Structure 1
């Protein structure tokens, strides 16, 4: 009688469940009902959408895998990619009436409840495959935390009710085969395998489409308890369960008894070890840094790792596997991966008018987590760090000068020492207060062209040049050409941005490159100039497809014309002297390099870092060598190492890395440089100033100001030009740039008597130079190992009380020439 009363109670409970399934609002407050229904509708939308966590695959440009990113190793496949035997096996053992119910098997539910009630324990389950799909999806996909996971598996009529309702609704949106396929794609099979495709590969090393009868039966059996039924730890239990599945397949007439008997006699046939798949970039070898860069790049575009793990993306990158090996070998040939405190990075960027592919990225350290083996996973190839790129920054000052009218063939003074006000303080010895003082490392000719100055790199020339063209404009030029990290807050000593700090303090030392750089962006500066002045954001992605094979569009800033094409080409031609006669010439000759190449070397504070920027129309890269130890010490060359007194220069290991890679890369060997434009070679000269002779002072001033010059009036002998009329405009300095001040000479009505020419014996100048570059200074202009200054030639005394140079001025010479 007690059993009968239990059966009656269970039957009544089934009636309640059935009624509740038909009317979910029964007995529940209106607000709660609305909230529950909204949640169920949202869940149903996800369930019918079919998207589930999977494996995102990152490929190189040859479409070979670099890495895989996932939380659940799952490969969703279509219905036609699953063996029919697998489908029959899972239906026979998990839901024999699958093709006959509408998502909820009321008959099975009643039978299970009666059986469980009579026995006093759970003897039968009643969940259909539809319901199991709902539960697994809510547990494995929708659940965001442990609380939601618990809610998806709680033992309650409320959860069962929601599950049944959604299972029933599934049948209104999906076919039976679609539901079965989605179930098989989501259910766990143990050993890290989620879904039938991953299971087939994990246990048998084959796709799910090729599963035979005993294999399909084994996998269908494992689903009951994938942790207990592990063929590597419980072979007997798995065989027993497999054979049970085969019996259910016979009972459902999916196979014959003879087929079942043959399958039972077969061994499990699993792989010796479960097939595994590396997760993340850690197994990518020397491509690990590029892999991390790809993930960082995608996160910046709205695809962080959580989003990548939530589906199955296929990402084809721009990494050229052949170039990657060449780059890595070139770096490790010059920088020992085991050397303490010594590191080198190399990024290769492809020039182009509308894109900027990152073809290779490497770091001398092996990618890994073993610190004792000097491995690293730091993002050093693509983040700002180090002590700076040194005199490479002189190209930014030169670019501003060209933009303002200087020519690459114009002569610039090369003083042994300069002292400038309001551009920082300190520097060379015996520097006056509130003054920035700089000296050269070697002794140079007293003047040289801008092109030669880029090749031989005298510091004083470029400090005077940045004083004239402006620190702010030079900083902005660096950003325009590619050093965009300089705008980031905290990029200078973790506080201000580099741009803000240097500009606010008007630091003339910026042209000497003492600020840490992003090596990838430095390589992109080379690519910008190689691309006729067009800047594009570095891009590691060739193509990105979602789980359905649809292309994903990643937001990307438009390419911009950073500088005029003719300016970029002319600057490149001027920089080409570096590899033929400048600071990189020795390395170029050692590697037999003869391809036209624009280049610039750089070395910084106490030789703690050095770099080499080089490019042509096909190839751009900027190897960067720096101290990556806890203590920043000087670096020495041959072999590259930490030392007490540094002697590393950009023309040494950094340039050798570049030539070592470039000589092995065909596109680098076949590149070229565009010709220079005549106007950027010649520049603005005094002859280009507007003619103002005979004009009133007001008209002359207007004409000069309209041409972009600042005007200072100066009274001079008119030599025939009426008083208060303009005589001429003359430059104030040795060269003339837009925005410069010029003298507007106004006639005083008198006539000047030309003095006789004064001659002096020419001084003998020691033109010996440091073969690898310039004396280095820190960010405040402090000299590192300042050279001994050469004996300066003396001038004969004169009777006027001044020096010989006081006897005649540039103005006197100009006036004399014009009068004659």
Structure 2
């Protein structure tokens, strides 16, 4: 007669039970010692790993005032202490999972023998695991090996070696950890459904309560789910969930945790879960409010560039306090939404605000009429169009700031220097040969004087004068000052706004902009992809006495224990001399008074001393306003962002079309600036525009 396959299993369990009952702590030898080496080599190491592995917790991202704006997590877990779990919850889990929990030493020898006898008889497999053993297994699966599928399968394998290893660790825990801590640990680590881990998260997600307030029916439902979270999911399998809940209630009556009458009342109660599914917050920045999504994503990527690992942020239980100013962000979001509707086809309006300083440039707001999300029909985009080089058409004539800065630095021109300014002119490109076509440009209109001072040119933006000046200064100098003032990441992208592809035969795609534009005078007219956030950092650099600092979204990071976590930050640099910075600010101070945005400023009732520069690309596919007032540096850009870009036309609403005259920086990009800053500033006294340094009034070379 062929022996039953359950007999060896039964004998093995009996051996295990005998050894564990005797309290043997040395390596266990079963029969010929086949399992001894497997177990002895693993137990101590795993015990140490368990002790050193921290449960994944939720990281909270807040604004500068400490108000949460998003959560990041891999497992939704809200840790609790023993005192924060209701007696009903403790009684429910003990009654259904391990009624001898408070008497055993980590392993239930009787339960193991009973399970072995039942299994050896050919019936359905029964578990003999205690809560302590389940705690060990769940901790291995959900914490230690959560990113290793093979190890997770090994943690759950139906083998004697695995069960013996698990049992030995459970005995060790039983000898060193209190019952209350083991029970709390188990209820903190166990999975319910999906990304919900631990009784704290489950109480919130399913019932909108805290674990200390769980009622008997609620506790029984949760206790029943841990056996099979999918099968006993109250939303997808409500009948099975109810049957399982009532089985737990019967078990509570059996252990005298409930009277029969109270049990009957509890069984008659409805499931009582939240309607529509468990309430679990978004685990990424996609769940942030409309005015905080792009900011949150930038803060997360900033920390990763600073040395944090994505998984670390999703599991570390950090509190990331950002620099986001909720009032400034809300007002800026309202301004862009009023200018370009959220769902307006093919038109984006970004808006970034930075607070200048000589030791840090704090980012206060990063918004757009688009929201950070995955549903284009709702006006959402999963690309950070504010932080990255998302404006692929460029910032237009606002780039004349760089030509002016390079001219002041080199001495080729001062603010009062007259610049040649024909109505139209053709230029020889740098490095041109006999086959190179000349670069021809025209001024937009015939009202410009010839010559025109650099100061007046910054206000009225003639193309010919600035291309001429750019040629005199030289492209290397202009590109270098653009990088120093703020376009650090922008200039590393190619002319499509992406990472350069060295395999491409086309320099437009293979070269970074810093190389590609060395021989192209079109740079000063701003026809290249650009980051709206980095453009806002340019006036922040000038307002900081010429000191460049990276746009910083982080005030502090604290870990799960409340300890400060250092953030590696790029050092600030003196980009240009303070006198040059002040002089350029002074030269830019007439745009809203008599320049290209003056009409929009008057229409908005604008009366603040500020500085700015507008920009409009050749086909009006992008328009910009770059400027600053008091201690706010700003960029506002409106650009085509759809699959079929076209000319942007003024509103309301701002739209794509073929309107002949098209949009301008002063007519479409400047109004959100006036709208937002009027409300932000109110009636507070203005910060005066700095005086020009006499050294930068006239040419020196």
Equivalence for 1:14:
14
CA gap of 1:578–1:24, structure 2 versus 1, over 3 A, is same
Deviates most, 651-660 or 663-672: 663-672
* 1:344 alignment partner in structure 2: 349
Q: Could you tell me how far apart the structure 1 residues matched to 2:234 and 2:643 are? A: 49
Equivalenced residues, count: 679
Pairing 1:736–2:700 present: yes
The match for 1:459 is 463
Structure 2 counterparts to residues 618-697 of structure 1, below 5 A = 618-639=631-652, 640-644=654-658, 645-666=660-681, 670-683=685-698
Instruction: Please give the secondary structure, in 2, of the residue aligned with 1:349.
Output: strand
Cα separation, partners in 2 of 1:489 and 1:35, compared to 1, 3 Å: farther
Shift of 1:519: 0.5
Distance in structure 2 (CA, Å) of the matches to 1:232 and 1:335: 41
In 1, are the aligned partners of 2:205 and 2:280 still within 8 Å (CA)?
Answer: no
Secondary structure in structure 2 of the residue aligned to 1:607:
coil
1:379 pairs with one of 384, 391, 411? 384
* Residue 58 of structure 2, aligned match among 55, 58, 66: 55
User: 1:191/1:678 Cα in 2 relative to 1: closer, same or farther (>3 Å)?
Assistant: closer
Residue by residue over 1:745-784, the C-alpha shift from the partner in whole angstroms, topping out at 9 and shown as x without a partner, is xxxxxxxxxxxxxxxxxxxxxxxxxxxxxxxxxxxxxxxx
Sort the Cα spacing of 1:302 and 1:6 in 2 relative to 1 into closer, same or farther, 3 A: closer
- How far apart are the structure 2 equivalents of 1:324 and 1:479? 27
Instruction: Measure how far apart 1:344 and its partner are.
Output: 1.6
1:480 to 480, 484, 508: 484
CA distance in 2, matches of 1:25, 1:228: 37
CA spacing shift, 1:181–1:459, aligned 2, 3 Å: same
SS at match of 2:54: coil
Q: How far, CA to CA, are the matches of 2:407 and 2:35 in structure 1?
A: 71
Deviation at 1:486, TM superposition (A): 3.6
Aligned counterpart for 1:306 among listed residues 305, 311, 324: 311
Q: Deviations over 1:21-51 (max 9, x none)?
A: 8554858999998897676555434422452
Indicate the larger mover: 202-211 or 53-62.
53-62
Tell me which residue corresponds to 2:405.
399
Contact 2:600 / 2:670 at 8 angstroms: preserved in 1? Answer: yes
Aligned to 2:599: 586
Partners of 2:31 and 2:71 lie apart in 1 by 46
With over 3 angstroms needed to count, the CA separation of the structure-2 counterparts of 1:12 and 1:366, relative to structure 1, is: closer
Question: TM-score, normalised on structure 2?
Answer: 0.87
Contact 1:618–1:667 (Cα < 8 Å) also in 2? no
1:316 is matched with which residue? 321
Partner of 1:807: none
Q: SS of 1:275's equivalent?
A: coil
Contact 2:360-2:572 at 8 Å conserved across structures: yes
Structure 2 matches for 1:649-798, cutoff 5 A?
649-666=664-681, 670-683=685-698, 735-737=699-701
Q: Note the alpha carbon deviations across 1:47-67, whole angstroms, 9 max, x for none.
A: 224522343333334444433
Contact residue 59 and residue 316 of structure 1 kept, 8 A: yes
Partner residue, 1:199: 202
Return the alpha-carbon distance in structure 2 between the equivalents of residues 646 and 32 of structure 1.
84
SS for the counterpart of 1:401 is: helix
Deviation at 1:273, TM superposition (A): 4.2
| Counterpart selection for 2:103 from 92, 100, 105 | 100
- SS, match of residue 291 in structure 1: helix
**Matched-pair contact (CA < 8 Å) for 1:424–1:435:** no
**What is aligned with 1:764?**
none
Which residue does 1:137 correspond to in 2? 139
Matches of 1:286 and 1:544, distance apart in 2: 23
State the partner residue of 2:94.
Answer: 91
CA contact (8 A) 2:579 2:693 kept: no
Displacement of 1:472 after TM fit?
1.0
Alpha-carbon distance between aligned partners in 2 of 1:486 and 1:203, rounded to the nearest angstrom: 46
> Are positions 1:411 and 2:418 aligned together?
yes
Cα 1:43–1:260 shift into 2, 3 Å:
same
Cα distance in 1 between the residues matched to 2:301 and 2:487: 18
Q: Does 1:276 align with 2:276?
A: no
Which ranges in structure 1 are unaligned for 5 or more consecutive residues? 684-734, 738-820
**8 Å CA contact retained: 1:17, 1:161:** no
- Structure 1: distance between partners of 2:640 and 2:347: 5
Written as runs of structure 1 = structure 2, the 5 A alignment for 1:219-258 is: 219-232=222-235, 238=241, 241-246=244-249, 248-249=251-252, 252=255, 254=257
In structure 2, what is the equivalent of residue 161 of structure 1? 164
285 and 125 in structure 1: CA distance in 2 versus 1, 3 angstrom threshold: same
Shift of residue 540, structure 1, vs aligned partner = 2.4
SS at match of 1:154: coil
Equivalent residue for 1:208?
211
Structure 1 pair 177/355, CA: closer, same or farther in 2 (3 Å)? farther
Of residues 52-61 and 452-461 in structure 1, the stretch that sits farther from structure 2 once superposed is 52-61
Take 1:398 and 1:31, find their aligned partners in 2: how far apart are those partners?
Answer: 81
Alignment match of 2:624 (pick from 605, 608, 611) = 611
SS of the equivalent of 2:111 reads: helix
Bigger Cα displacement from structure 2, 73-82 vs 276-285: 276-285
Q: Distance in 1 between matches of 2:5 and 2:576?
A: 90
Bigger Rg, which one: 1
Q: Which whole-Å CA distance do the structure 1 matches of 2:628 and 2:36 have between them?
A: 67
What residue in structure 2 maps to residue 552 of structure 1? 565
SS in 2 for 1:664: helix
Q: What is residue 365 of structure 2 aligned with on the other side?
A: 360
Aligned position for 1:769 = none
Q: Which whole-Å deviations, capped at 9, do the CAs of 1:329-374 have from their partners, x for residues lacking one? A: 2213222334433222111222233222222222223544444455
- C-alpha contact (below 8 Å) 2:423/2:442 kept by paired residues: yes
* Structure 1 CA distance for aligned equivalents of residues 395 and 38 of structure 2: 60
Within 2, Cα distance between the matches of 1:523 and 1:211? 51
CA distance in 1, matches of 2:676, 2:32: 72
Report the CA distance shift for 1:17/1:358 in structure 2 as closer, same or farther (over 3 A): same
Q: Secondary structure at the match of 1:583?
A: coil
Structure 1 stretches of 4+ moved >6 Å: 2-9, 27-38
Q: Show the counterpart of 1:770.
A: none
Deviation, structure 1 residue 218: 3.4
Which deviates more, 236-245 or 329-338?
236-245
**Alpha-carbon RMSD:** 3.6
Which stretch shows the higher mean deviation, 619-628 or 349-358? 349-358
Residues 387 and 605 in structure 1, CA contact (< 8 A), matched pair in contact too = no
1:524-535, aligned counterparts within 5 Å? 524-535=537-548
* Cα distance change of structure 1 residues 550 and 162 upon mapping to structure 2, 3 Å threshold: same
**1:441-452 map, 5 Å:** 441=444, 442-452=446-456
Correspondent of 1:325 among 306, 325, 330:
330
My pick for the range that moved more, 482-491 or 573-582, is: 482-491
Residue 181 in 1 paired to residue 184 in 2? Answer: yes
Say which SS state the counterpart of residue 189 (structure 1) adopts.
coil
Shift of 1:187: 1.0
Displacement of 1:87 in angstroms is: 2.3
554-563 vs 52-61, which deviates more?
Answer: 52-61
